[in-house]
Amino acid sequence: MAIEHKKHVFRIFLLLGAVIVTALIARIFAVPDTFGVYGHYRAANLSEHSAREVRHGGNDACAKCHAAIKTLHDKGPHISVPCEDCHDALAAHIKDGKKVAEMPRVKSVTRLCGRCHRDLVARRDDFPKINIEKHVKDQGAELSDQVCFDCHNPHNPTP
Amino acid sequence: MDNVTRREFLRKTALASGGCAVFLLLGPGQSVRAAHPVAGGSPLGDYDWEQHRYAYLIDTQKCIGCGMCVKACKAENKVPDGFFRTWIERYEVSEDGEAEVDSPNGGLDGFEEKASHANIAKAFFVPKMCNHCAASPCVQVCPVGASYRTKDGVVLVDQQHCVGCGYCVQACPYGSRFIPHDDGAPYARTAQKCTLCYHRITKGLKPACVAACPVGARQLADMKNKFDPVRKRIITERVSVLQPELLTEPSCYYLALDKEVR
């Protein structure tokens, strides 16, 4: 049996073919470079992630200029507290080995000490917990932002 | 239109598809692929990602809720205000078993005591973060291939490629992802999450949260290093993961996890 509408069938297939070819060509430009090298993602993103700036330098980086403080710090009970916990990230202070800004000062020492030492119910009991208000009052002092430092050296506090 | 015979039609079609095939093989796609490393090599220079597989250990009994990890994560990764890649939750469980959970500003500024308490039977802090799941729902739902898990076990987002649809934010059962408001930062309005400080661990450094923890409650393990003490703790001690029933295979292990913690 002869096909009566050969022309229509031909056109449909031609159209379909054109769509497929267009899609394949568009795909070349739409899919980013390095996509699919290691999996269903853009492989170049791996090095973009690993190339980000390291902002915390660690205690040894601080000790390059502040060696005396580190020696004192490492002899005391705060040895496990990194410098950048109480101060700020190294990158706020040093860039490419040069000082770019002063390290920001801690506004409220009382609050800072309290982050670890306030006697919260949820805080474990085998950790030195202090009712700061009561303790300051018992010592005959007045609560202020810097009051803890009147007796305690934060780099090497003795209880 | 009888002048097109079947033979001629087939011949022309074969020619046309052959031409397309030649174009696709020699077109721009092929030259791009040839310029980049083939699968199997390491994409990160000296760092060989085949030699590592990271896991994370959180000891909830050590955590004191100081929030230094949250602060360090913010500073290291420039996390936008009001969003957190890691955060600390405080659980207070009454004698009747009622649990109250809070996390003021993610624990960024530490915790203050609550104004009033019911009769508390137990209370503790739990640090939370991305679990870097092996069967991660967030990666599965991404429609554009912007979320993926690296060979060394880290779930990352390609912010350049992300379209900000938010499927992954909804898919994550741990609430570890977010899409920040447009604050002008590059790639704002795309999905963000913990990267396990991929820029640090690939240089042999610890993630910022691990380095900041003063009590050792947060630790990074390399499961491919047989001599890693943290790996040893994970494989020899009684650890649990968050919501194991979801079969997401988290890489974050918890010690002394309470049943109230989800």
**B127 belongs to a structural domain:** yes
Clarify whether residues B30 and B67 are in a common domain: no
**Is B158's CB within 8 Å of A127's CB?**
no
**B222 belongs to a structural domain:** yes
**B121 belongs to a structural domain:** yes
Q: Are B141 and B162 in contact (CB under 8 A)?
A: no
- Domain of residue B60, CATH code: 3.30.70.20
When the pLDDT of each residue in chain B is averaged and rounded to a whole number, the result is: 90
Strand segments (E) across chain B: 54-59, 86-94, 99-102, 120-129, 147-149, 155-157, 218-222, 239-240, 252-255
Clarify whether residues B30 and B53 are in a common domain: no
Clarify whether residues B120 and B228 are in a common domain: yes
Interface with B, mutate which of A6, A13, A45 (most B CBs under 10 A)? A45
**B236 belongs to a structural domain:** yes
- What integer pLDDT is reported at residue B2 of this predicted model? 55
- What integer pLDDT is reported at residue B33 of this predicted model? 45
DSSP letter, residue A113: H
* Helix, coil or strand: residue B86: strand
Class of residue A159 by CB neighbours under 10 A (exposed 0-12, middle 13-18, buried 19+): exposed
Any chain B CB within 8 A of the CB of A5?
Answer: no
Calculate the CA B25 to chain-centre distance.
36
Q: Is the pLDDT of residue B34 over 50?
A: no
Using 50 as the pLDDT threshold, list the residues of chain A that sit under it: 1
Clarify whether residues B114 and B1 are in a common domain: no
Q: Where are the domains of chain A?
A: 6-50, 53-105, 106-154
The whole-model pTM stands at 0.86
Cα B235 to Cα B55, B67, B134, B245, distances in angstroms: 11, 28, 17, 20
Number of domains in chain B: 2
Q: What would the pLDDT profile of B172-217 be if each residue is shown by its tens digit?
A: 999 999 999 888 888 889 999 999 999 999 999 999 999 999 999 9
User: Percent of chain B beyond pLDDT 90?
Assistant: 77
Considering only CB atoms, A116 lies closest to which of B37, B64, B208, namely B64
Q: Which residues contact A85 (CB under 8 A, 6 or more apart)?
A: B66, B68, B71, B72, B212, B214
- What integer pLDDT is reported at residue B35 of this predicted model? 43
Cα distance between residue A117 and residue B32, in whole Å:
57
**B166 belongs to a structural domain:** no
- What integer pLDDT is reported at residue B231 of this predicted model? 98
- What integer pLDDT is reported at residue B24 of this predicted model? 60
Clarify whether residues B89 and B206 are in a common domain: yes
**Is A52's CB within 8 Å of B199's CB?**
yes
Complex ipTM: 0.89
Clarify whether residues B225 and B120 are in a common domain: yes
Q: Are B128 and B89 in contact (CB under 8 A)?
A: yes
Q: What would the pLDDT profile of B218-240 be if each residue is shown by its tens digit?
A: 999 999 999 999 999 999 999 99
Clarify whether residues B4 and B109 are in a common domain: no
Plot region of A6 (φ>0 → left; ψ -120 to 50 → alpha; else → beta): alpha
Considering only CB atoms, A43 lies closest to which of B43, B72, B76, namely B43
Residues 100-119 of A with CB under 8 A from B: 111, 114-116, 118-119
**B40 belongs to a structural domain:** no
**Is A17's CB within 8 Å of B124's CB?**
no
Q: What would the pLDDT profile of B83-111 be if each residue is shown by its tens digit?
A: 999 999 999 999 999 999 999 999 999 99
Domain that holds residue B123: 49-131+195-255
Set of chain A residues whose Cβ sits within 8 Å of the Cβ of B198: 49-50, 52
**B169 belongs to a structural domain:** no
Radius of gyration over alpha carbons of chain B, in Å? 25
* Mean pLDDT computed over B35-44: 61
**Helices and strands counted in chain A (H then E):** 7, 2
Cα B164 to Cα B131, B158, B168, distances in angstroms: 21, 11, 9
